[in-house]
Structure 1
Amino acid sequence: MKDKNSTNDPGYAEPVPFAERLANSENFLSLFREGMALVEESAAYLDSEGREESKSLDRAASLTYATESMRLTTRLMQLASWLLLQRAVNEGEMTHEQAGEEKSKVRLDSLSSPCTGPGWEMLPVRLKDLIARSVRLQERIRILDAAIYKKTPTEPEAATSNPVAAQLSQLANAFRQGSD
């Protein structure tokens, strides 16, 4: 019996790698430009207007300002690193696999801002806006990253994180051992 999903079947077409296509599209270029512009805008704000605004804050708000501006800067540097890695893949400077190895150094899941707590309400509106925009950008990049660099069910981590996959893996191993 011929496997319907076989590449030998003339009616079979490989699935379209949607995430990879998206990463190579005008949408990615737009995301890249948006991310880099946010980095520049945030740096300019923190170096000038933000510095002046922070001087007028009370102690609690000043501490929150320092914490949140550091989180913002760190988050944006992580996002910029990811965007630059993906651009290098798109331009043929790195392979998908090389970028996957390098991106393990990039943290996309950390540094969320609480948007509450002592001093938060007293933070300058512009800083809160930059934080909110960076968190939205982070979420968009996390979704794209998960789609591009998804792990296949055959990887050991996927089997241990998914109880059904772990059970299927155990069954497959049992049948393999029984046929030997």
Structure 2
Amino acid sequence: MQEQGLNTVNFAGRAANSSQFKTLYSEGMALVEETATYLDGTGRAASKVLPRIASVLYAAESMRLTTRLMQMASWLLLQRAVNNGEMSRDQVLAEKNKVRLDGFNVDRNAPGWNELPEGFRDLVERSLRLQNRVALLDREIYRPSDAVSVPDNENSVRAQFNLLQTAFGN
């Protein structure tokens, strides 16, 4: 009798080296570039005319936004390096421990939030959605292998379907 789970396909591992990852990578790097352009141009001009409370919030949130995007870019670059054979999985695991993919949430009820430029709020929202997608994929790829085993009472097809939903959303 074969042990359950040994013949299942690791969709998360395949997703990390797929066209979906390449799309996620492109989206992430494009958002980094778009944000830098915004903060150095339109955002800088818009921040100068904000009321004081919104101006302080803008400064704090722009630092969080930049940090969030740099952390995601680091993760994406590490994953691309392992996908391309430039780094081993163990090397990536050692470096990945320095990357933080959570804890950058936003308080949309903070005083001044609604006074922030719409373009800035959009960048923040998009970065949070991207952060969630990267964090979900990270958990699926790098969780301990013993956590991948399927309980006897769970349908292994259902478990793989859940992995697909986690990796690709919806």
Per the normalisation by structure 2, the TM-score is: 0.82
Equivalents in 2 of 1:72, 1:136: separation in Å? 12
Choose which of 21, 24, 31 in structure 2 pairs with 1:31: 24
Q: CA deviation at 1:113?
A: 1.4
Match of 1:85 among 64, 74, 78: 78
Distance 2:75 2:14 in 1: 17
Amino acid across the alignment from 1:29 = K
| Structure 2: distance between partners of 1:106 and 1:93 | 18
Following TM superposition, by how much is the alpha carbon of 1:64 offset from its aligned partner in structure 2, in angstroms?
Answer: 0.4
Structure 2 SS opposite 1:105: coil
Does 2:63 match 1:65? no
Return the alpha-carbon distance in structure 2 between the equivalents of residues 104 and 13 of structure 1: 28
SS state at 2:27 partner = helix
Matched, 1:5 2:3: yes
Residue 147 of structure 1 aligns with an amino acid whose one-letter code is: E
**CA distance in 1 between partners of 2:55 and 2:2 (Å):** 64
Q: Please give the alpha-carbon distance, in whole angstroms, between the structure 2 residues aligned to 1:98 and 1:5.
A: 30
Q: Secondary structure at the match of 1:144?
A: helix
Deviation of 1:84 after TM superposition, in Å, equals 0.1
Please identify the structure whose Cα radius of gyration is greater. Answer: 1
Ranges in structure 1 where 5+ consecutive residues have no aligned partner: 7-11, 155-180
The residue type paired with residue 100 of structure 2 is R
**Cα distance per residue 1:83-134 (max 9 Å; x no partner):** 0000000000011221111100000012111122111010000000000000
Q: Which moved more, 1:74-83 or 1:88-97?
A: 88-97
Cα drift, residue 144 of structure 1: 0.2
| Root-mean-square deviation over aligned CA pairs | 1.7
Aligned identity (percent) is 55
Task: Select which of 12, 15, 32 maps to 1:22.
Answer: 15
- Corresponding residue to 1:101 among 87, 94, 111: 94
Number of corresponding residues: 147
Q: SS state of the match for residue 97, structure 2?
A: helix
Q: Tell me how far apart the structure 2 counterparts of residues 94 and 14 of structure 1 sit (CA, whole Å).
A: 27
Which residue does the alignment assign to 2:115?
122
Do residues 141 (structure 1) and 134 (structure 2) align?
yes
Which whole-Å deviations, capped at 9, do the CAs of 1:40-95 have from their partners, x for residues lacking one? Answer: 00000000000000000011000000011000000000000000000000000011
Work out the CA distance in 2 between the residues paired with 1:38 and 1:120.
Answer: 21
Which residue type is aligned with residue 3 of structure 2? N
Question: Following the alignment from structure 2 to structure 1, what is the Cα–Cα distance between the partners of residues 72 and 59?
Answer: 20
What is aligned with 1:165?
none
1:153 positional shift: 4.4
Indicate the larger mover: 73-82 or 144-153: 144-153
Q: Which has the higher contact order (CA 8 A, sep 6+)?
A: 2
Q: Which residue of 2 aligns with 1:45?
A: 38
